[in-house]
Structure 1
Amino acid sequence: MNTSVSPATADATAPQSFGRQLHDAAADWWQTDFPNWIYVFKMVFAGLLALGIGYALDLESPRSGLITVFIVMQPQSGMILAKSFYRVIGTLVGSVAVVVFVGLFAQTPELFLLATACWIGLCTFGSALNRNFRSYGFVLSGYTVALIGIPAALNPALTFDSVMTRVTEITVGIVCAGVVSALVFPQASAPGLVRVIRGRFTAFVDLIGSTLGGSADRKALEAANARFVGDIIGLEALRSSAIFEDPEIRLRSGRLTRMNSEFMALSTRVHGLHQLMNRLHDSRNPSAQLVIDAISPYFREVQPLLTRSGGEPVMTAVDAADAALKLESYKRELPRRVRATRNAHAQKLDDDAVLDFDTASELLYRVIEELHAYTLTYASLVQRRHEREQWEHAYAPKTSMVTASVAGARAAITLIGLSTFWILSGWPSGDVAALNAAAFCAITSAAPDPAKATRTVTMGVALAVVLGYFYTFHIVPQLDGFWMLAAALTPVLMLAVLLTTRPTLAGYGLGICIFFPFVAVPDNLAHFNAAGYLNESIALMVSLIVTTGAFMVLLPPTTNWTVRHLEKQLRKQVVQACFARLAHLTLQFESGTRDLMHQITMLTGSRPALRKDAFGWMFATLEIGHAVIELRTELHGIRSGNPGLLSPAAYAALDRLRETLPALFEQPTPATLAAVLDANNRTIAEVQQAIGPHYRERSERHRLQRTLSYLHFIRTALLDPQSPLQPMHQGGTALAATSGVNHAA
């Protein structure tokens, strides 16, 4: 037996030298851990800089600047600028509210606390309705009233001074965070945004190739679309941050928003086409295979349009310009070629198969059209200024008014409860408990699991209290000057910031970052009062325990009820598709549906069954809702240009369909599904009768055929065996709907 080993195999199996292993370990550390350590040093340096400036300016509480740095600091400078901008706005709005409330209710603390609770509830409600750092601005305007207003209400004569001091301290922290982030090892948001755009375009090109080429199954496509939901939200967040730091991004902001909109529309089209072809593969109609054979060659022609001359996929915006030219030529020739294919197979296809072919070819044309637009926008990013920048349709988030109201009510009830206990008990540190509970109830309300987030922060605060006691009464009295204080604080602050870079430990680090300076860093006029320290520490712990309890008891966001409610809101997007104004409706529908799904995804991390059900409804909602919008747009053109093209009976049938669809998605039952299928079949029959065997101009016939294609696609989506509507099919409903001449009822 020959046991010789080739040199290549020997090199691969030989152990690496110690030097090589050390080199690989160092390279890995440089790529993964070094950026975290840079972030730690920057954050601590910026915080101590703000603290030193606060002492130098003789501010009342220099630690507020240090805490502000820890609150606004982010890895990228664009995120810091965005968060700082909204923090300033929120603080100013909250400061105005403080002056108003103190002026109105300073003599009646019960009314002041009630007004403060209502304000915080309202701001928490506004925070839930918004996204990104704009949401943070609402949070700030809410708890600024608690942080400044409650102490100011105890000393009304010092209200204006307290407000100005607070704003100055926050401004110092914001400026220090921004300057350090921009000058010390700056990390811009723009390169990350470019990587996301390029990576998403490349991934989608691959997906289109595998989907239209027939190598992607349903599960792979749905998994890709699930990832795209997060990508869409993430790109919008990155764009909204990057415009604060980079003028080049600001010049392209409209095109980036446009790309997100076009990407949503395109991904829905591709998914719809893939689902239609899946249904044809599963069809019992013998002519279905003829349709597949006739339309599939066009699918295989798309992938080469999105590759470079060397065979590599299109990646950069420069490459996209060449792909856009090829797509434009292909799009121009596609209708003529499809008509020729249809005519060549017309004698072999029955009425059902003709409808399938027309629907598939219409979807294919729409895919190419959307892909061309998306590629053009991507290619335009090379130029600083471009006509495609003129895009005013912003991403439109969608939040349930019920869940937002619950979040606002929860924050208000928590503050009212603690304030009542404070007033009735006469607790000296009750104000600290009340204002801290209000602040954290507002801050953590946007977390996927706020009760868990508050629990981890509580553990961090407990550690901060212990360390703070040791520092306050054993270390700080021994220090002389700011530099010794900074040196003493640095180890704890570095540890706390390092913990925030670890996802599983971030809550503990946040608790230490915010509350260790609160209890351990002395004011300009230092006080060493052990009884007062213990009272405030107990107040902090009580406030966080009460906040955690509020999130666990007062309709927790992570309950199945909340997920089901959001799922119902997602289904109700079909109502918007049926009745909302057509202007900008596609973008509002697409972004709202995906935003709701993103919220459900955040809440169902440990409940895959709920998430799977919600994704099923998202795909059904997108498919049918998008087809309804296209149908309404086509009908609007018919009504305004040639109303006699359809008979009064056809218009009545279309109105009936538009009435039954919302009822189905609001209350999915066998009865509502049967009503929609009946209305859809009747409408198809009326439109087919309008087309007729008699002569019509090509434009009229094409318009009616497009209308018929949208109706047929809605019907196939309703009958999809993989749809969440499938359990609603009664006995022979599905079979009856699929049989019959020309789909007539």
Structure 2
Amino acid sequence: MQSRILSFIHRLVSQCDFTTPRATYVLRALLAANLALVVAYALELDMPYSAATTVLLVLNPVQGAVLGKGKWRLIGTLAGMVVALALMAAFAQLPWLFVLTESLWLGICVLAMSVLRHFRASGAAVAGYTIGLATLGAMQHPELAFEHAVGRASTVAIGVMSLGLVTALFSRRTLSSKLDALLLRLTQQTAALLAAQGPATAQHRLMTEIYSVDDLLAAARHESVTLAQHTRAIQQAMDALAEMVASCQHSQQTVWQDVAAALAQGRAGLAAARHLLREVRADEAQSHQSHIIAMQRVVQVLSYLPYTSSSPRLVAPSFHRDWSGARRNGLRAFVTLLAASSLWLGSGWPAGDIMLLIIAPYCALLSTSPHPAAGARQFLRGTFYALPMALICAFVVLPLINGLPLLLLVLSLFWLPGIYATSFPQHLLSGLAYLVGFNTLTAASNPMVYDISQLLNWSLAWLTGTALTLLAFQLMPRNPARHVQRLQARIRLSSLALLAGKPARPLRWQQQQQHRLAQLGALLRTHPEEHDRVLQQGLASLQLGREILRLRALTLNSQWQAQMVRAQQRIARRVGNPRKAAKHAQRTARILREDAASAACLTAIAHVLQQHADYFSPQQIGGSHVK
């Protein structure tokens, strides 16, 4: 019998591969959480388990994402701690005003999170819900508010540094090569598109995919000093690719075929591509081609990307900010937390602050999720798993052991299923809810306090907070279709506003329009027919705006300036009737036929307005009007 057991254990161990990416991710997470817990115990912090919780919240298989999330989590915690101390100083004896200002602060931070990008958004979210974490238990003892806040900031700092150290020592830096390969592939596909070698839908797909460069760069820049120095140049290259794809013109097909063939060789073909573009650029007959100049900039960035020489200071590209959706997210978070706070203060429930502790981060984290109600259900599922596991660990296993090594071993075994679940995207939120719930409800402090009534009260508060979060997103849902409509209306009205004479900065306007088109493509990816129709209209709107801005630039130094200004004013007065505006643009183009560039702009404007007259009419998109 014993030999069978030993044989089974031997086969089980032999089948375990601890070198796979998932296995190394789990081992790094366990090591970092244990390290954070040991340091917090050594410093005798009030809630040492919060340091391990921070590690489990910042977990990510990618080193750059860990460093970026950790950095902005620490910044957000410090900002929230300062606000928490200010609110406690002002409203320690006025709980209703305290919860009102706390809810308002959370709403403001969620609004900011909705318009910020990448890890800065997570920092804003952390700043919003840190007030509840920093003042947990301090409402009954305001004199301890400073100690609570400093303890909270200390545990976050310990968790972030522990995970950063373990990740730096035991993980690989893989994003630099991924970013380099992605840029090369997108550049080659753009050249192939300009050579008319790809299908018609390739233009729409590339518009969406190009902006994934910026998402990958946000994490990769924390892994590499070189990428951090070249961030602006890479973003400029990304913007140049988007511009070429958006204004795709199938000219000079032989040149673009040769460039695409050279870029298909990877880095080995960059020199050949640069030589081809230089030869075409030197030809005066072709020097007016803006796509050649843009591709030269992209190839130049790709050429010096592996080197540490700093790129010149460049202006960061402009991205679209959905302020309407952000205000809705902020309002939802404010109302939900205020309603839950009223329930707490009105009922006098001692564990009500734990309920607020759950609602605030869950509302913030789910606000920008494409399916927040589904995410809230995952949080609820993870909480259901955490409650019995915390009860078993705190009241069955921990009383039987003694000493730090056994404590770390027991906690690691209970953390293991949650960490493993976070390695699967479909179970990420459930795993996070399990880990945070288990850690908080077990409350492995030093000395350990076994209080069954506290655990039951906190468990009920945890379930109530998660359920109220789910209810809030069901009563005030996030509607992706409404976001699509807002983007469509914004793209269309921005171009019509230019047609009506509104001033704009050309580069900023074009970058924002291109980003809106990329967002539309991502939102409509699962609806191919609507995807192609909407992006085709958006590209027409972008072309109209580009031609208008180009015409304005030509007007400044034209000998026909008076006629061109008068023509633009007359077109602006006919913005409500695209067909009449197109006819007037055509008539002006014939009058200014001696000015070839201006006539070409006016002809292009007339062509876009005629071809898409129904789209540009004021009755489209819910009867929106251009002021």
TM-score (norm 1): 0.76
Provide the residue aligned with 1:709 in structure 2. 600
Q: 1:438 to 1:656 in 2, by over 3 A?
A: farther
Name the SS for the 1:74 alignment partner. Answer: coil
Cα deviations by residue, 1:705-734 (Å, 9 ceiling, x for unpaired): 2222222223333344799569989xxxxx
5 Å-filtered alignment, 1:341-352, equals: none
1:522 offset after TM fit, Å?
A: 1.3
Q: 1:548 to 1:130 in 2, by over 3 A?
A: same
The amino acid that maps onto 1:397 is: F
Deviates more, 1:605-614 or 1:498-507: 605-614
In structure 1, what is the Cα distance between the partners aligned to 2:192 and 2:30? 43
The amino acid that maps onto 1:300 is: T
Cα deviations by residue, 1:197-239 (Å, 9 ceiling, x for unpaired): 2222233233333x2xxx43423433x33xx42431x222332
In structure 1, what is the Cα distance between the partners aligned to 2:553 and 2:60? 44
In structure 2, what is the Cα distance between the partners aligned to 1:606 and 1:478? 54
5 Å-filtered alignment, 1:89-108, equals: 89-108=75-94
Q: 1:235 to 1:176 in 2, by over 3 A?
A: same
Provide the residue aligned with 2:222 in structure 1. 244
The amino acid that maps onto 2:226 is: E
1:601 offset after TM fit, Å?
A: 5.2
Deviates more, 1:717-726 or 1:470-479: 717-726
In structure 2, what is the Cα distance between the partners aligned to 1:607 and 1:30? 41
Cα deviations by residue, 1:176-210 (Å, 9 ceiling, x for unpaired): 0100000013334322222222222233233333x
Cα deviations by residue, 1:269-311 (Å, 9 ceiling, x for unpaired): 21xx25xxxxxxxxxxxxxxxxxxxxx6x32332124434xxx
1:256 offset after TM fit, Å?
A: 1.1
Partners of 1:127 and 1:139 within 8 A in 2: yes
Provide the residue aligned with 1:370 in structure 2. 294
Q: 1:631 to 1:581 in 2, by over 3 A?
A: same
Provide the residue aligned with 2:325 in structure 1. 403
1:659 offset after TM fit, Å?
A: 5.6
1:464 offset after TM fit, Å?
A: 0.8
Structure 1 residue ranges without an equivalent (≥5): 1-28, 275-295, 338-361, 662-671, 693-703, 730-745
Q: 1:534 to 1:191 in 2, by over 3 A?
A: same
Name the SS for the 1:153 alignment partner. Answer: coil
Partners of 1:597 and 1:618 within 8 A in 2: yes
Provide the residue aligned with 1:302 in structure 2. 256
5 Å-filtered alignment, 1:513-528, equals: 513-528=435-450
The amino acid that maps onto 1:42 is: R
1:336 offset after TM fit, Å?
A: 6.6
Provide the residue aligned with 1:52 in structure 2. 38
Cα deviations by residue, 1:74-124 (Å, 9 ceiling, x for unpaired): 222222221111111111111110111001111110000000000000011
Provide the residue aligned with 2:463 in structure 1. 541
Provide the residue aligned with 1:690 in structure 2. 592
1:242 offset after TM fit, Å?
A: 2.7
Provide the residue aligned with 2:493 in structure 1. 572
5 Å-filtered alignment, 1:432-447, equals: 432-447=354-369
Provide the residue aligned with 1:645 in structure 2. 560
5 Å-filtered alignment, 1:465-476, equals: 465-476=387-398
1:609 offset after TM fit, Å?
A: 6.2
Provide the residue aligned with 2:108 in structure 1. 122
Alignment partner of 1:186 is 2:179:
no
The amino acid that maps onto 2:593 is: I
Provide the residue aligned with 2:203 in structure 1. 221
Name the SS for the 1:367 alignment partner. Answer: helix
In structure 2, what is the Cα distance between the partners aligned to 1:581 and 1:393? 20
1:599 offset after TM fit, Å?
A: 4.5
The amino acid that maps onto 1:718 is: L
In structure 2, what is the Cα distance between the partners aligned to 1:323 and 1:598? 27
Counting matched residue pairs gives 604
Partners of 1:79 and 1:189 within 8 A in 2: no
1:430 offset after TM fit, Å?
A: 0.9
Alignment partner of 1:258 is 2:236:
yes
Alignment partner of 1:498 is 2:435:
no
1:240 offset after TM fit, Å?
A: 2.8
In structure 1, what is the Cα distance between the partners aligned to 2:233 and 2:368? 29
In structure 2, what is the Cα distance between the partners aligned to 1:659 and 1:444? 45
Partners of 1:269 and 1:367 within 8 A in 2: no
1:512 offset after TM fit, Å?
A: 1.2
Structure 2 residue ranges without an equivalent (≥5): 1-15, 621-627
Partners of 2:578 and 2:616 within 8 A in 1: no
In structure 2, what is the Cα distance between the partners aligned to 1:47 and 1:618? 48
Q: Which of 414, 422, 437 matches 2:336?
A: 414
Partners of 1:41 and 1:494 within 8 A in 2: no
Q: 1:593 to 1:557 in 2, by over 3 A?
A: farther
Alignment partner of 1:461 is 2:352:
no
The amino acid that maps onto 1:169 is: T
The amino acid that maps onto 2:301 is: T
Deviates more, 1:507-516 or 1:406-415: 507-516
1:69 offset after TM fit, Å?
A: 0.7
Alignment partner of 1:112 is 2:63:
no
Q: CA RMSD in A?
A: 2.8
The amino acid that maps onto 1:313 is: A
Provide the residue aligned with 1:25 in structure 2. none
In structure 2, what is the Cα distance between the partners aligned to 1:609 and 1:549? 34
Partners of 1:258 and 1:377 within 8 A in 2: no
In structure 2, what is the Cα distance between the partners aligned to 1:414 and 1:609? 38
In our comparison, the structure showing a higher alpha carbon Rg is: 1
1:612 offset after TM fit, Å?
A: 4.9
The amino acid that maps onto 1:705 is: A
Alignment partner of 1:560 is 2:474:
no
In structure 2, what is the Cα distance between the partners aligned to 1:333 and 1:605? 41
Provide the residue aligned with 1:143 in structure 2. 129
Cα deviations by residue, 1:617-652 (Å, 9 ceiling, x for unpaired): 43223222222222222223x2xxx4x32443x322
In structure 1, what is the Cα distance between the partners aligned to 2:528 and 2:131? 40
Percent identical pairs in the alignment equals 22
Partners of 2:47 and 2:445 within 8 A in 1: yes
The amino acid that maps onto 1:656 is: R
Name the SS for the 2:448 alignment partner. Answer: coil
